[in-house]
Amino acid sequence: MIRFRHLRSSSEIRDQSAEVSLDVNQLIMPVFIVEGESQRNEIPSMKDVFHFSIDEATRQIEINLKKGLRKYLLFGVVDNSLKDNLGTVAYQHKGLISRAIRELKNNFGSEIIIFSDVCLCGYTNHGHCGLISGNTIDNDSTLPLIASMALEHALAGADFVAPSAMMDGQVGAIRNAFIENGLGKMRIMAYSAKYASAFYGPFRDAVDSAPAFGDRKTYQLDYRTIKQGIEEAGADISEGADWVMVKPAHTYLDMIRQIKSNFSNSTLAAYHVSGEYMLLKLAASIGMVDELQAFQEVTTAIKRAGADYIITYYAEKLADSINKN
């Protein structure tokens, strides 16, 4: 008989035997930014997640920096009246996210690491991530717009841009734009293996970006594919991505492991998305699971699968629990 239980007999021995642990440095917190002042409004579809005006986001981040939480992924949420079919406000000079980046960097400098989501869906009146041509989403005409959005964020001082539109060649287009503008060293975290998922529902309510017609299946990955996810990551790395990502995370642990194994020298992020977050929040709200324990377990599983960084709406509470230990 092998005595496995010897290594489980006390919390000290279990801690010593642990192979995976969470680190505050590996957490990235998504932040939804709205126009205005003193705005801090809970998002109806996402418990304990807020729409922040820039000043309130600044206040919250100041608190979070004391917990060691330094990495933030910014999303812009604009009024429907500002959206058009080209997503113009996404890449206009001094747009919402560019102003947010400038202000946060002015306040916190290199204390904070800013990732900015680069995609048109929150800014187009049709809610698609690219331009419409007939009844399709046109790939190539979208690329220059995505590149100029990324460039605006880079000029504002973002540390990483995070292209999430799933247009072919988007990382290369951004990398070229950076090189042409003397920003060749600018970092890119590519949403590489981003699957068309039912678990983005609460997020789309949060940024009001549900597609007005059709779905995202002609550009985001089909969840019945494995090879395509690996190939997307490889393409993004060769086009100049510094980090790649798998998304969703909890339901795609196998893809995290596969991409980590295939590109072991690359840095891999995984996004525990809004629907996955809400499953746990709702289960906890009716007493089905202990909330903190459930998030600790799932987030650790994402790390164990091979993620170097985890984007999570639960970052603040995880940071608190890590700091307590």
**Which residues are marked as active site?**
194, 247
Q: Report the 10 Å Cβ neighbour count for 3.
A: 7
The residue (of 258 and 274) whose beta carbon lies closer to ligand PBG is 274
Which of 33, 60, 71, 117 is close enough to bind ligand PBG by CB under 6 A? 117
Residues near 107 by beta carbon (within 8 Å), at least 6 away in sequence: 58, 62
Which of 119, 177, 186, 322 is close enough to bind ligand PBG by CB under 6 A? 119
Q: Which stretch binds ligand PBG (CB under 6 A): 1-9, 88-96, 113-121, 137-145?
A: 113-121
Residue 74 and residue 152: Cα distance in Å, rounded?
A: 14
Beta strands in the chain (DSSP E): 27-34, 40-43, 46-53, 71-76, 113-118, 131-133, 136-138, 160-163, 187-194, 243-247, 267-272, 309-312
CB of 18 to ligand PBG, least distance (A): 28
Q: Report the 10 Å Cβ neighbour count for 170.
A: 28
Residue type at position 117: D
Question: Which pair of tokens denotes residue 168?
Answer: 């072919």
Residue 306 near residue 268 (C-beta atoms within 8 A): yes
CA 316 and chain centroid, separation: 15
Q: Which stretch binds ligand PBG (CB under 6 A): 82-90, 115-123, 221-229, 281-289?
A: 115-123
Residue 272 and residue 73: Cα distance in Å, rounded?
A: 13
Residue 100 and residue 58: Cα distance in Å, rounded?
A: 9
CA 121 and chain centroid, separation: 14
Q: Is residue 90 at the binding interface for ligand PBG, with CB under 6 A as the rule?
A: no
CB of 176 to ligand PBG, least distance (A): 21
Binding to ligand PBG, residues 14-53 (CB under 6 A): none
CB of 253 to ligand PBG, least distance (A): 17
CB of 314 to ligand PBG, least distance (A): 12
Dihedral through CA 278, CA 282, CA 287, CA 290, nearest 10?
A: 10
Q: 37 exposed, middle or buried (CB, 10 Å; 0-12, 13-18, 19+)?
A: exposed
Q: Is residue 129 at the binding interface for ligand PBG, with CB under 6 A as the rule?
A: yes
**Residue 162-191 contact track with ligand PBG, rule CB under 6 A, x = bound:** --x---------------------------
CB of 121 to ligand PBG, least distance (A): 5
Q: Is residue 115 at the binding interface for ligand PBG, with CB under 6 A as the rule?
A: no
Number of residues that bind ligand PBG (CB under 6 A): 11
Q: Which stretch binds ligand PBG (CB under 6 A): 20-28, 104-112, 196-204, 295-303?
A: 196-204
| Nearest residue to 272 via CA among 281, 261, 284, 283 | 281
Q: Is residue 312 at the binding interface for ligand PBG, with CB under 6 A as the rule?
A: no
Question: Which pair of tokens denotes residue 9?
Answer: 């007999």
Q: Is residue 78 at the binding interface for ligand PBG, with CB under 6 A as the rule?
A: no
CB of 273 to ligand PBG, least distance (A): 4
Binding to ligand PBG, residues 199-218 (CB under 6 A): 200, 203-204, 216
Q: Is residue 121 at the binding interface for ligand PBG, with CB under 6 A as the rule?
A: yes
**Residue 224-263 contact track with ligand PBG, rule CB under 6 A, x = bound:** ----------------------------------------
CB of 290 to ligand PBG, least distance (A): 23
Residues near 141 by beta carbon (within 8 Å), at least 6 away in sequence: 130, 131, 133
Binding footprint of ligand PBG on the chain (CB under 6 A): 117, 119, 121, 129, 164, 200, 203-204, 216, 273-274
